[in-house]
Structure 1
Amino acid sequence: MTSKIIFLYFVVQLIHLASSFEKEFTVSIDPSKEDCFYHTLKAGESAEIEYQVISGGHGELDISLNILDPIGRIIVADFKKSENSHKIDAKENGDYRFCFDNKFSSISTKTVFFELIVDNSEEDKWGSDENYNFDGIEPDEIYNLKIEDVQELVNNVRDHLNKVRHLQDMIKSTEARDRNVAEETFFKVNTYSMLTLVVMILVCLVQLVMVKSLFDEKSKIHHIWSYIEKILH
């Protein structure tokens, strides 16, 4: 009987987990553009968004974020941030907008990784003892099994798994960002090195022509140099 109750409890928890929403996205925001993503929330639900700019397209790793409620009021406003996280509580039913704004950049495309987590307000109802109805089992027998301990254990396991997965996602996005920064630095170093090499070659050619002209009596540079020597002497 005990194993049956525990099994039913785990089934209820799995149904609850399946009803929650958690999604990850990697998007590219073109210069002078704004991209918005919509998600429907019910009153009492909470949504958490965490974002990070992993590529700046030869520009700064920053982006602006605006979160708007169904009426169009701005709830959260970030300006030129490389990463941040926000949690909002829905006051009314409707579509909430999560807008990434790259209008301040005219040439750089920004690649943004973000994760959206929606907590269902029904979570506490699932977790309360009054919603468990096991036929043929007396209430005293249920409480003697300390089902609240099983509930706490399952919740802890769920929370730790979510934290582990979230940490892995952030590590992955950080690695992508570091790789993009390294590639950008490599591109800048190569470009600067090529420009420096070209300038050095041009300087060497100019010096070679100048020195050769000084010893050529028919060249204009030789005549100018001779005239300068006469003036100085």
Structure 2
Amino acid sequence: MIKPFFCFEKEFTVNVDASKEDCFYQPMKIGDTTDIEYQVISGGELDISLNIFDPTGRVLVADFKKSENSHTIVVQMNGDYKFCFDNKFSSFSAKTIFFELIVDNSEEDKWDSDENYNFDDVDPSVIYNLKLTEVQEIVNNVRDNLNKAKHLQDMIKSTEARDRNVAEEAFFRVNVYSILILVVMILVSFVQLFMVKSLFEEKSKVHSFWSYLERIFH
């Protein structure tokens, strides 16, 4: 049998409304190593504040208006830890945040070298050439590398989502400004056409006005 180990890994995508704060709680115990990495993928200036509190309410981490960041915490106290994303500084823009939380107890995440393992399907010559500790190290390295690859893929995915949101927002703004400029150009064209036409019509008010000004100054 393999000794049980504790490892919590979770990904979240949350929306934090303008002038609001959303908090999450995670129970942890002494010896745990906690990694949190977050990224704002949409909303306004793409920034958020993060505060992390221990069970006594003491602030462990305080980020102010960051677009992304990561932190590693070695737990020194048993209890519920609070993770708060603060968007109170924004009056209008809601924020969408992707974050990953990993809680790992490295002391428990070991294999018991005294246990018996079944290698019936493996070539005996290979088994005898490798010590059990070497097998454990290889498997642990493979698992760690797979976790790193998965984490990297998740971050790349969130970065792509943020870039896509930025591009779509920029595209929308360009379209709106282009339409406004086009409308202004059309209105100016009609005004110019009306003014020029009125200058050549003796009965028009514009022509009478210009004639009046001409008599005054001459």
Task: Tell me if structure 1 keeps the 8 A contact 2:50–2:86.
Answer: yes
One-letter amino acid of the structure 1 residue matched with residue 94 of structure 2: T
- The one-letter code sitting in structure 1 at the alignment partner of 2:38 is Y
- Residue from 17, 36, 56 that aligns with 1:30: 17
Moved >4 Å (runs of 4+):
142-145
Q: Is 1:85 the equivalent of 2:70? A: yes
CA RMSD of aligned residues (A): 2.1
Please give the TM-score of this superposition, normalised by the length of structure 2: 0.88
How far apart are the structure 2 equivalents of 1:220 and 1:181? 51
Judged with a 3 Å threshold, the aligned counterparts in structure 2 of structure 1 residues 40 and 143 are, in CA distance, closer, same or farther, namely farther
**Cross-structure match for 1:164:** 149
Shift of 1:231: 4.0
1:121–1:64 Cα change, 3 Å = same
Partner deviation per Cα, 1:35-68 (whole Å, 9 max, x = no partner):
0011001012111100011111xx1111110111
Matches within 5 A, 1:7-86: 12=2, 15-16=4-5, 19-56=6-43, 59-86=44-71
Helix, strand or coil at the partner of 1:123: coil
Residue 224 (structure 1) shift: 2.0
Structure that is richer in helix per residue: 1
SS in 2 for 1:224: helix
Aligned to 1:118: 103
Q: TM-score, normalised by structure 1?
A: 0.83
Paired residue secondary structure (1:170): helix
Q: What's the secondary structure of 1:60's corresponding residue?
A: coil
- Please report how far the alpha carbon of residue 220 of structure 1 lies from its aligned counterpart in structure 2 after TM superposition: 2.3
Q: Does the 8 Å contact 2:13/2:99 carry over to 1?
A: yes
Instruction: Give the Cα–Cα distance (whole angstroms) in 2 for the partners of residues 215 and 128 of structure 1.
Output: 101
Amino acid at match of 1:72: G
Q: Aligned residue for 1:223?
A: 208
Aligned-pair CA distance for 1:230: 3.1
Structure 1: which amino acid aligns with 2:17?
D
Cα deviation digits, residues 18-49 of structure 1 (max 9, x gap): x3100000011100000001100101211110
Structure-1 residue corresponding to 2:123: none
Extract unaligned runs of 5+ from structure 2.
118-126
Q: Which amino acid aligns with 2:51?
A: N
* Equivalent runs, 1:123-162 vs 2, <5 Å: 123=108, 126-127=110-111, 129=113, 132-134=114-116, 146-162=131-147
Corresponding position: 1:174 with 2:194: no
Aligned residue for 2:168? Answer: 183
Deviations 1:180-210 (A, max 9, x none): 1111011101111111111111111211221
Q: Which moved more, 1:144-153 or 1:178-187?
A: 144-153
